[in-house]
């Protein structure tokens, strides 16, 4: 991307430049969710390319230093992989901030936000933002746990004071400041998988109504925590 003339921006800066109509034609925002301590391994590579990044942290784990754990990742807490679940510390986050990175919120506990009450949303969104502000000075953006946010969640994020939020879903049909779509990458995204995720044709397909209709299939299985059934009265 550097060779092709892309400019690396933080998520917040990209939104401010979008508003000012100064967003470069070739710009990229690199984000890391959850706040794994292993995110530091990426810094050297990004420094070499001249890119900054935005890391979204789950504040309750930064506070305690306990291994990251929520529905969907518990299996990684065994002896062989437990160390990989360590969170970034506040001092490490401060170092990233000083290097030009942005520290955003990934909520307080990594809850499934669309299932929360208004009070629960406030605790997760506003509570985590205030914690980051107290420790690092500011928190302008949020990445929603499990990549999911409906209109109610987006409205709660705006009320909590965020200027932008990002999702991570197969369909890219919603693109607004508090629900900016992203493209997710993992260790298996090489070769044809990498090409497919970056292909303009595939991205256009992900913006269609068909992609939106098929999206619920993506979230079946154990990727999301079980949703409590409402009590009958």
Position 179 confidence tier, pLDDT thresholds 50, 70, 90:
very high
Report pTM: 0.90
pLDDT at 177 over 50: yes
Q: How far apart are CA 213 and CA 218, in angstroms?
A: 11
**pLDDT digits over 116-157, tens only?**
999 999 999 999 999 999 999 999 999 999 999 999 999 999
**pLDDT digits over 90-107, tens only?**
999 999 999 999 999 999
Q: For residues 151-164, give the mean pLDDT.
A: 97
Q: How far apart are CA 207 and CA 193, in angstroms?
A: 18
Q: How far apart are CA 88 and CA 73, in angstroms?
A: 17
Contacts of 25 (CB under 8 A, 6+ apart): none
Position 206 confidence tier, pLDDT thresholds 50, 70, 90:
confident
CB 148, CB 167: distance < 8 Å: yes
Q: Which residue has the higher pLDDT, 128 or 206?
A: 128
Q: Is 191 exposed, middle or buried (0-12, 13-18, 19+ CB in 10 A)?
A: exposed
For position 173, what pLDDT does the model report? 84
**What CATH superfamily is the domain 7-218?**
Glycoside hydrolase/deacetylase (3.20.20.370)
Please give the full DSSP string across 102-151, using - where no structure is assigned. EEEE--SS---GGGS-HHHHHHHHHHHHHHHHHHHS---EEE-GGG---H
For position 233, what pLDDT does the model report? 32
For position 225, what pLDDT does the model report? 54
**pLDDT digits over 31-77, tens only?**
999 999 999 999 999 999 999 999 999 999 999 999 999 998 888 88
Can you give the residue ranges of every domain in the chain?
A: 7-218
CB 122, CB 160: distance < 8 Å: yes
Question: Closest Cα partner for 114 from 147, 165, 152, 70?
Answer: 152
Determine the angle formed by the axes of helices 151-159 and 118-136, rounding to 10 degrees. 40
């Amino acid at each position: 991307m550097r060779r092709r003339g892309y400019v690396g921006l933080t998520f917040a800066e990209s939104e401010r430049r979008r508003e000012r109509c100064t967003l470069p034609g070739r710009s990229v925002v690199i984000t890391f969710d959850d706040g794994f301590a292993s995110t530091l391994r990426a810094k050297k590579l990004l420094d070499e390319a001249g890119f900054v990044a935005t890391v979204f942290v789950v504040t309750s784990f930064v506070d305690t230093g306990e291994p990251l754990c929520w529905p969907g990742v518990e299996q990684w807490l065994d002896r062989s992989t437990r160390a990989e679940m360590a969170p970034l510390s506040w001092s490490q986050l401060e170092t990233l901030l000083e290097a030009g990175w942005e520290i955003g919120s990934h909520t307080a506990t990594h809850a499934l936000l669309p299932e929360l009450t208004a009070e629960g949303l406030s605790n997760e969104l506003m509570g985590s933002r205030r914690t980051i502000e107290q420790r690092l000075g500011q928190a302008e953006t949020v990445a929603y746990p499990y990549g999911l946010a409906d209109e109610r969640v987006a409205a709660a994020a705006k009320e909590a004071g965020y200027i932008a939020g990002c999702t991570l879903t197969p369909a890219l049909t919603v693109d607004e400041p508090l629900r900016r779509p992203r493209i997710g990458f993992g260790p298996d995204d090489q070769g044809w998988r990498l090409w497919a995720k970056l292909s303009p044709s595939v991205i256009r397909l992900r913006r269609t109504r068909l992609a939106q209709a098929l999206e619920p299939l993506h979230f079946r299985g154990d990727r999301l925590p079980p949703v409590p059934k409402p009590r009958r009265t």
